Structure 1
Amino acid sequence: MSTSREPRRPDVTEVELVGGAEALTVDLHSHDDRWAEVFGDHRDRIRDALAPADVRIEHIGSTSVPGLAAKPIVDIVVTVDDITAEEDYLDALLAAGYELRVREPGHRLVRTPARDVQVHVVGRDDPAVDDYLLLRDRLRSDADDRALYEGTKRALIGKRWDDTNDYADAKTDVILAIMARARGARGR
């Protein structure tokens, strides 16, 4: 059971993109069962780096959904007690070989130098975790929503994205609709 604590200090108030905006070429790959293995390797690496802290580590994003085409980037969410206490987790993740990419209110993102794994660090009680898992589980269990989401991503492939965030934003309406259906199904 998690206990909510007051943060040690105020969180950052602006988005810091280490290295600035990055262009993205969207390249979808058929689902690869090795993505689950990559997640498992990084889950262990993160758990070892952050021991003895009690952290939750989950595979999220398209690579966590069997049968779904995805960019070959494994996304992981890690929950920590206090996102503002970077000394409790950030140095350890950097020492484990990850690089800081984003520092923003309530969220830090580190990734591998090869950019094939992204680790989203959030506070233990952040509702984003439930949203990530709701979407993941819906896409795993509903073939129609999985096909809709993949079709949306394929429709966006041909565009050049000057900022990775613009690609993510272009999928928002579809993601929100899928999550609404998932909440409706869960409420039954």
Structure 2
Amino acid sequence: MSSTLFEKAGGLSPSGLMRKFRGGDIDIEPAPRLNLRAKVAYAIAGPAIAITDRPGDISHLGRETVASVGLCLDIFNDGDDPATVTEVGLVGRFDSPRVAVHEPLLHDNKPWPRVLQPGERVIAHLASDLGSHPVLNALRRCYVRTNNDHLIHANGGAALRYYIKQMKKRQ
């Protein structure tokens, strides 16, 4: 009669085996399911802001913007549980260098740290003038940190590359 590894382990499930292997029966909270996307923001006039993740979408605006280009992070809770976002920022390829924003401007003016309910979204304004920052060229990804110290990374994509290019032009 052959027995499986799980039967030999006393009938523990694979996750139970991992908990036992890691040192006890402590419950490990899963990371929240947050979708993160970098976006370019232009202040067009007074209270109007154009936000996109593809800069070509707003090229028809021309140069009639009120302020220089800004960078935003669109954070969406795609999970089933609320998630508290405590920090947003930009990082290099291997988590270094890091530019952290602990209290970003929010487009809906609600308080920070932000509790995102399932299906809720917030746009956090990171930067409007990082052009003189010494690590600007090394930044490649964006991230959010939750109150449980979970880090969620996403590729900065076209919006971050466009933002860096615009900041270099201003130097």
Tell me the TM-score normalised to structure 1 length. 0.23
Compare CA radii of gyration and give the structure with the larger one.
2
Higher strand residue share: 2
